[in-house]
């Protein structure tokens, strides 16, 4: 067994690997970028080494820097986690050349499965069913468009080297194909350095089911049951569970046999995931699933497999990389109860799930039986714009699916994230959605139910604003109470004192930057604060910070701050003509020029954040009067991108 490990990753997966490694007696070595010098994974490890600037392309993706750190630390092995270099064959080869064990599959298996087109050809040869489509080398746009037409719409455009939903587009009609292809290729190039794509038939009621497999260097390969990852948004997983609802023992054996055949076909070693698309219409069937891809690494959702098997998959990875045989045979793999995982992100569901960055003013997770929380941040840390905005994974395990979902939903309700916005409330509502609870769902479930899941603008939460105003008032009264130098005079009272009539005052505040007026009625029992006639919500959680009060209610955050009544109201007054960056990101392209006439809905620019593209469109008809940014520039959330002068009405 190894004595030391360098963890070539960051965030919650680096912390999770470090905990198992330390339990096994390994010396743990972290690496960090300039943005991560005080990160939790650095603090958890025995030692840490700097590897470059904040952008991943200059640090966590630089093979030479990581190998140099491993040599300096005298590491026996390198664990890549997931993401970054975890599926990079050149990195595995560099580890071998440096005499350092790579905790993962051999480079040949990575290459065989790393490109979707080659992987599908290999699976067809091995007798594993694959989705109909075009998986060839021809990348001419007209040719691909013709192939899509022949396959029949809807189709999926998928990056050959892709994963995590990047470089993927669903196309429902031929007229939309060219624009979708352009976007998929551009996103694939940015995320993977490879713009090539393939075209597949889109299954209309798809369930995403994957098999966790393990193989050793002695020719053994088994599966550790399946996970259902069908709850997705933009082809990225949101909630995962094990076992899959509706999965029979016979189908599990059939799908598991296909997964282990896939592993053996590419000479696999270590932990991997074989992902299948299943036709969910009418229930899961033995002839209704097809190979999609194989992830040659540990998956984000591996904790649900650990929960139902009682196994530590990271420990298995270390042991197999050290040359040991698989600890279990297929007939000894357990299935105990049900587990569900939710990915808690710093993002805003009401604004298209845009990433939300900044300091975590408050961060608290509940504890309890059957609940596990994996995180890479603590209160006071910052969610940086350079990396995936995951805050934590909450995993619930119970005797039944309903019990696990109840535990998870209740835990999400009690989770406190203040500063960046989060999807906690959205996840809680998802766990409680009737159709999902009844097993009636597929990969399009979230997109079809955005309104009921409140993943749309909700407007002002007056009861939350009242709670924030009440906290601001309490702070003001507390400051007066401790001011020992203040003169004692009834005219200095802050309780709305007057000689007759009800004592009412107004408190001008802002709610998420917009002007609001709170009403304060001073009763004998104390002040009562209302906004738009609503009193402060009793279930709201108010957290004071230097820049105001953050109020959490039903997982939704509202920032309330005092407003100077003598200043102009906050907000934009250009009739929708001010185009702002919705999040921190990089300007990939600008499609208009100063002086150009534009129409409502016209594409203006593209901003990339977290390797995903976000298109900015015109909110009004008008003329571009100013362009404040240039292509490839970094912009902050709320920064001005351009101005549109409204078109004058016709006489």
DSSP β-ladder status, 155-159 and 168-171? antiparallel
Distance, in Å, from the CA atom of 579 to the CA atom of 644, rounded to the nearest integer, reads: 8
User: How far is CA 58 from its chain centroid?
Assistant: 22
Of 190, 169, 166, 145, the residue nearest 55 (C-alpha): 190
Residue 122: partners with Cβ closer than 8 Å, 6 or more residues away: 112, 113, 265, 266
CB neighbours of residue 299 within 10 Å: 21
Residue 328: partners with Cβ closer than 8 Å, 6 or more residues away: 222, 311
Q: Please indicate whether residue 297 is annotated as part of the active site.
A: yes
Instruction: Tell me the two tokens of residue 583.
Output: 């999040």
Instruction: Tell me the two tokens of residue 572.
Output: 């934009």
Please tell me which residue in 170, 297, 429, 470 is annotated as part of the active site: 297
Beta-bridge partner residues of 390: 345
Beta-bridge partner residues of 320: none
C-alpha separations of 573 from 545, 570, 598, 643, 649 in Å: 28, 9, 19, 12, 18
Residue entry with tokens 């890549």: 80
Of 576, 570, 582, 581, the residue nearest 599 (C-alpha): 576
Instruction: Tell me the two tokens of residue 120.
Output: 């599908």
Beta-bridge partner residues of 522: 503, 527
Distance, in Å, from the CA atom of 594 to the CA atom of 313, rounded to the nearest integer, reads: 56
Query: String of b and e for 128-149 (b: at least 16 CB within 10 Å)?
Result: bebbebbbeeeeeeeebbebbe
Instruction: Tell me the two tokens of residue 491.
Output: 């005219």
DSSP β-ladder status, 77-79 and 4-7? parallel
Distance, in Å, from the CA atom of 623 to the CA atom of 520, rounded to the nearest integer, reads: 45
Helix (H, G, I), strand (E, B) or coil at 587: strand
Name the maximum alpha-carbon separation found in the chain.
Answer: 91
DSSP letter at 477 equals H
Distance, in Å, from the CA atom of 577 to the CA atom of 616, rounded to the nearest integer, reads: 12
- Are residues 234 and 612 in contact, defined by beta-carbon separation less than 8 angstroms? yes
Residue 566: partners with Cβ closer than 8 Å, 6 or more residues away: none
Burial class (CB in 10 A: 0-12, 13-18, 19+), 154: middle
Active site residues: 297
């Amino acid at each position: 067994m190894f004595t030391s490990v360098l963890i070539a990753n960051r965030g919650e997966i680096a912390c999770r690997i470090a905990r198992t490694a330390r339990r096994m007696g390994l010396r743990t070595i972290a690496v960090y970028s300039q943005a991560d010098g005080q990160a939790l994974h650095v603090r958890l490890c025995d030692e840490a080494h700097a590897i470059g600037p904040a952008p991943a392309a200059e640090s966590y993706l630089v093979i030479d820097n990581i190998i140099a750190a491993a040599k300096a630390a005298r590491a026996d092995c390198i664990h890549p986690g997931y993401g970054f270099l975890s599926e990079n064959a050149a990195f595995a080869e560099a580890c071998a050349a440096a005499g350092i064990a790579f905790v993962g599959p051999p480079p040949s298996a990575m290459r065989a499965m790393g490109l979707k087109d080659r992987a599908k050809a290999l699976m067809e040869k091995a007798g594993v069913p694959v989705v109909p489509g075009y998986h060839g080398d021809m990348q001419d746009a007209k040719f691909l468009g013709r192939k899509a037409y022949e396959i029949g719409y809807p189709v999926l455009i998928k990056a050959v080297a892709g994963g995590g939903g990047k470089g993927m587009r669903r196309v429902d009609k031929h007229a939309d194909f060219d624009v979708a292809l352009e976007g998929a290729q551009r996103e694939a190039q940015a995320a993977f350095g490879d713009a090539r794509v393939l075209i597949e038939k889109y299954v209309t009621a798809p369930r995403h089911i994957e098999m966790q497999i393990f193989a050793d260097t002695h020719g053994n390969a088994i599966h550790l049951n399946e996970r259902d990852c069908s709850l997705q948004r933009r082809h990225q997983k949101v909630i995962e569970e094990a076992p899959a609802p509706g999965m029979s023992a016979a189908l599990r054996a059939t799908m598991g046999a296909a997964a282990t055949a896939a592993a053996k076909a590419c000479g696999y070693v270590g932990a991997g995931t074989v992902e299948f698309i299943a036709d969910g219409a009418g229930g899961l069937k033995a002839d209704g699933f097809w190979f999609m891809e194989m992830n040659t690494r540990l998956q984000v959702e591996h904790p649900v497999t650990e929960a139902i098997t009682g196994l530590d998959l990271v420990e298995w990875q270390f042991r197999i990389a050290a040359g040991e045989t698989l600890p279990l045979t297929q007939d000894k793999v357990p299935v105990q109860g049900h587990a569900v995982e939710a990915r808690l992100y710093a993002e805003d569901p009401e604004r298209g799930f845009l990433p939300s960055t900044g300091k975590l003013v408050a961060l608290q997770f509940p504890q309890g039986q059957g609940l596990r929380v994996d995180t890479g941040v603590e209160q006071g840390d910052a969610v940086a714009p350079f990396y995936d905005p995951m805050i934590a994974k909450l995993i619930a395990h119970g005797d039944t699916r309903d019990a696990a979902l109840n535990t998870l939903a209740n835990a999400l309700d009690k989770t406190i994230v203040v500063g960046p916005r989060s999807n906690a409330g959205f996840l809680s509502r998802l766990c409680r959605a009737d159709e999902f609870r009844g097993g009636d769902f597929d990969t399009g479930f979230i997109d079809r139910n955005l309104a009921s899941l409140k993943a749309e603008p909700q407007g002002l939460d007056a009861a939350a604003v009242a709670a924030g105003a009440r906290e601001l008032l309490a702070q003001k009264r507390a400051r007066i109470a401790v001011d020992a130098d203040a003169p004692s005079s009834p005219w200095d009272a802050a309780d709305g004192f007057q000689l007759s009539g009800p004592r009412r005052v107004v408190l001008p505040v802002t709610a998420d930057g917009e002007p609001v007026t709170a009403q304060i009625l001073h009763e004998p029992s104390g002040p009562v604060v209302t906004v738009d006639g609503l009193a402060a919500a009793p279930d709201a959680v108010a957290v004071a910070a230097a820049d105001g009060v953050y109020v959490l209610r039903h997982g939704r955050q509202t920032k309330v701050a005092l407003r100077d009544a003598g200043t102009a109201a906050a907000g934009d007054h250009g009739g929708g003509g001010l185009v702002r960056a919705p999040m921190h990101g990089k300007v990939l392209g600008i499609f208009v020029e100063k002086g150009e006439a534009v129409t409502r809905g016209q594409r203006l620019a593209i901003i990339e954040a977290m390797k995903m593209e976000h298109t900015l469109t015109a909110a009004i008809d008008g003329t571009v009067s100013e362009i404040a940014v240039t292509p490839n520039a970094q912009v902050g959330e709320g920064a001005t991108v351009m101005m549109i002068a409204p078109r004058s009405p016709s006489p």
